[in-house]
């Protein structure tokens, strides 16, 4: 039995007629177009010159893209508070996106080395460029977001929760892998035997320095889907030398790309509307617009690798197929496993941390509520049906349909993943409200005791 997928002999980027394969032409075109674009440079400039005071009196997206939109809290808010909730929506979403892109920075480099080792030089160059772009994206999101939230709720509010405090660097905190991770890696090494010549040099360097890929738990799409030991375990497999598994990472990255598209496409349309009217374009709106254009190249690459390029290699082994399915299956339970009453473009359930954030927000100078008032409004917004839930459910259904169409052509996936059955069965408004009632009771007990 084969222990790994290996490149077809010889590795060829051409079809039987000697012509470059269609998907490799697309990779080359995307690399050239991305190289010639100036979207990242525009984001850098907007980041350098950003001042919240110059953008504070304008909506940064359509009102329905606002924190707590459609909830009793939102409906009872003043015009100034609604404007602030629109800005905090931008902050909260791009905080999550920056966490996801931090994961991507590592995994792009891990997999790019595998592709480079098997002769896919253009793919490796494109991924290196994307990695550099992601660094600039993350910097812009964090600077603009940090300045915004401090202006609206102050440093005390910023430091009151783990998620908002995640802007503080944790890169100096070493993660010590558990025996569970070492055991899983030992098994994987045996099953991936024979792929050493394609082993990611970037991953090898991390291991030699005892500097593992994810030293602290991440809270992006991958972190929401894979527990800490599994993040490192999958990283090892994606960079362990199997061309198929290196490609499979991009199926997971495609979920992040499509999630982002569903969020940013409306902001890009809003940018065009404001531009056409000749009105002032807020810097965060422009950042979203240029990021949407930048990420279109990244989405194309994810699509090509995840849906076409993996077929350049031998059929996946039972182990590789299992891992590929496990990654998508766990993402359906994790990052795609629920519905939010707070953020209409986030697809996992609100937890204690989210409730703490809203509680602190309502007690900040922005709303000035007492503890009892905040708890009363939170119950109405988390535990009772309202328009915000229906908007979130509509967005969720759109993303589910998009993912079903994409994965329909990925032949190694089991029906539960190809048809996104777990995601389809999750996220009902009734189930979300019942879950929120239970979470709110626990939260209320902790607040009042």
Contact (CB, 8 A) for 75 and 377: no
Structure token pair of residue 277: 């009217």
C-alpha to C-alpha distances, 27 to 30, 243, 294, nearest whole angstrom: 5, 17, 15
Vertex 170, ends 297 and 214: CA angle to 5°? 60
pLDDT at 166: 42
**Minimal CA–CA distance to 296: which of 87, 29, 13, 96?**
29
C-alpha closest to that of 421 among 325, 343, 342 = 325
Share of the chain above pLDDT 90, in %: 76
Q: Length of the chain, please?
A: 449
Structure confidence at residue 169 (pLDDT): 36
CA distances from 104 to 36, 290, 323, 343 (A): 22, 19, 19, 23
Tens digits of residue pLDDT in 270-305: 999 999 999 999 999 999 999 999 999 999 999 999
DSSP characters over 393-439: HHHHHHHHHHHHHHHTT-TTS-HHHHTTHHHHHS--HHHHHHHHHHH
415-418 contacts at long range (C-beta below 8 A, 24 or more positions apart): 416/325, 416/329, 417/325, 417/328, 417/329, 417/332
Residue 231 binned pLDDT confidence (cut-offs 50, 70, 90) = confident
Please report, in angstroms and rounded to a whole number, the separation of the first and last CA atoms in the chain.
Answer: 60
Q: Quick one: tokens of 134?
A: 């992601």
d(CA 125, CA 116): 9
Residue 141, CA distances (Å) to 46, 53, 97, 373 in order: 11, 17, 8, 32
pLDDT for 170 beyond 50: no
User: Is the pTM above the cut of 0.85?
Assistant: yes
Buried b (16+ CB within 10 A) or exposed e, 176-193: ebeeebeebbeebeebbe
Average pLDDT rounded to a whole number, residues 203-220: 74
Out of 62-71, 142-151, 232-241, 298-307, which region has the weakest mean confidence (pLDDT)?
A: 232-241
State phi, psi for 7 to the nearest 5 degrees: -60, 145
What are the beta bridge partners of residue 14? 20
Sign of CA dihedral 430, 435, 438, 443: negative
Question: What's the distance, CA 409 to chain centroid?
Answer: 22
Peptide bond into 10 cis (omega under 30): yes
Structure tokens at 162: 């783990």
Q: What is the mean pLDDT of the chain?
A: 89
Q: 99-130: per-residue pLDDT in tens?
A: 999 999 999 999 999 999 999 999 999 999 99
Question: Model confidence over 329-372: pLDDT tens digits?
Answer: 999 999 999 999 999 999 999 999 899 999 999 999 999 999 99
Report how far residue 281's alpha carbon sits from residue 58's, in angstroms, rounded to the nearest whole number. 8
Residues 344, 65 contacting (CB under 8 angstroms)? yes
Structure tokens at 73: 């809290």
Measured torsion, CA atoms of residues 252, 304, 268, 354, in degrees rounded to the nearest 10: 0
Please give the Cα distance from 424 to 2 (Å, whole number): 35
Return the CA Rg of the chain: 22
Tens digit of each residue's pLDDT (9 = 90 or more) over 35-86: 999 999 999 999 999 999 999 999 999 999 999 999 999 999 999 999 999 9
| DSSP letter (8 states) at residue 308 | T
More confident residue, 8 or 74: 74
Q: Where are the alpha helices (DSSP H) in 38-178?
A: 39-49, 52-55, 72-75, 79-117, 121-158
User: DSSP letter string over 264-314?
Assistant: HHHHHHHHHHHHHHT----HHHHHHHHHHHHHHHHHHHHHHHHHTGGGGBP
Residues with Cβ < 8 Å from 443, sequence gap 6 or more?
352, 355, 356, 359
Higher pLDDT, 7 or 135: 135
pLDDT band at 2 (very low <50, low <70, confident <90, very high): very low
């Amino acid at each position: 039995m084969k222990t790994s997928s290996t490149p077809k002999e010889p590795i060829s980027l051409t079809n039987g007629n000697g012509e470059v394969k269609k998907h490799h032409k697309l990779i080359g075109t995307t690399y050239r177009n991305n190289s010639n674009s100036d979207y990242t440079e525009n984001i850098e400039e907007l980041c350098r010159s950003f001042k919240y005071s110059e953008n504070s009196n304008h909506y940064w997206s359509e009102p329905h893209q606002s924190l707590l939109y459609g909830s009793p809290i939102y409906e009872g808010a003043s015009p100034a508070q609604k404007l602030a909730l629109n800005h905090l929506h931008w902050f909260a979403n791009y905080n999550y996106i920056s966490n996801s892109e931090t994961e991507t920075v590592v995994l792009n480099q891990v997999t790019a080395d595998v592709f480079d080792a098997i002769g896919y030089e253009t793919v490796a160059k494109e991924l290196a460029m994307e990695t550099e772009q992601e660094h600039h994206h993350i910097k812009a999101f964090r600077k603009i977001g940090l300045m915004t939230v401090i202006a609206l709720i102050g440093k005390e509010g910023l430091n009151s929760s783990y998620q908002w405090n995640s802007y503080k660097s944790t890169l100096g905190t070493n993660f010590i892998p558990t025996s569970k991770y070492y055991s899983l890696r030992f098994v994987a090494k045996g099953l991936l035997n024979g792929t050493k010549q394609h082993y990611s040099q970037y991953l090898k360097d991390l291991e030699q320095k005892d500097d593992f890929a994810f030293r602290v738990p991440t809270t992006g799409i991958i972190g929401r889907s894979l527990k800490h030991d599994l993040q490192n375990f999958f990283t090892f497999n994606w960079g362990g030398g199997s061309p198929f598994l290196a490609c499979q990472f991009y199926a997971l990255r495609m979920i992040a790309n499509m999630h982002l598209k569903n969020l940013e496409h409306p902001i890009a349309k809003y940018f065009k509307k404001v531009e056409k009217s000749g009105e002032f374009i807020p810097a965060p709106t422009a950042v979203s617009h240029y990021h949407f254009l930048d990420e279109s190249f990244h989405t194309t690459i994810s699509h090509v690798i995840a849906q076409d390029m993996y077929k350049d290699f031998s059929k996946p082994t039972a182990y590789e197929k299992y891992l590929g399915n496990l990654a998508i299956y766990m993402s359906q339970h994790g990052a795609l496993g629920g519905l939010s009453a707070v953020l209409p473009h986030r697809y996992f359930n609100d937890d204690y941390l989210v409730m703490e954030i809203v509680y602190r927000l309502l007690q900040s100078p922005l709303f000035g509520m007492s503890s009892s008032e905040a708890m009363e409004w939170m119950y109405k917004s988390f535990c009772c049906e309202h328009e915000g839930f229906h908007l979130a459910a509509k967005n969720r259904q759109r993303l589910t349909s998009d993912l079903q169409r994409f994965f329909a052509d990925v032949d190694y996936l089991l029906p539960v993943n190809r048809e996104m059955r777990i995601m389809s069965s999750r996220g009902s408004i009734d189930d979300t409200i019942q879950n929120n009632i239970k979470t709110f009771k626990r939260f209320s007990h902790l607040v009042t005791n």
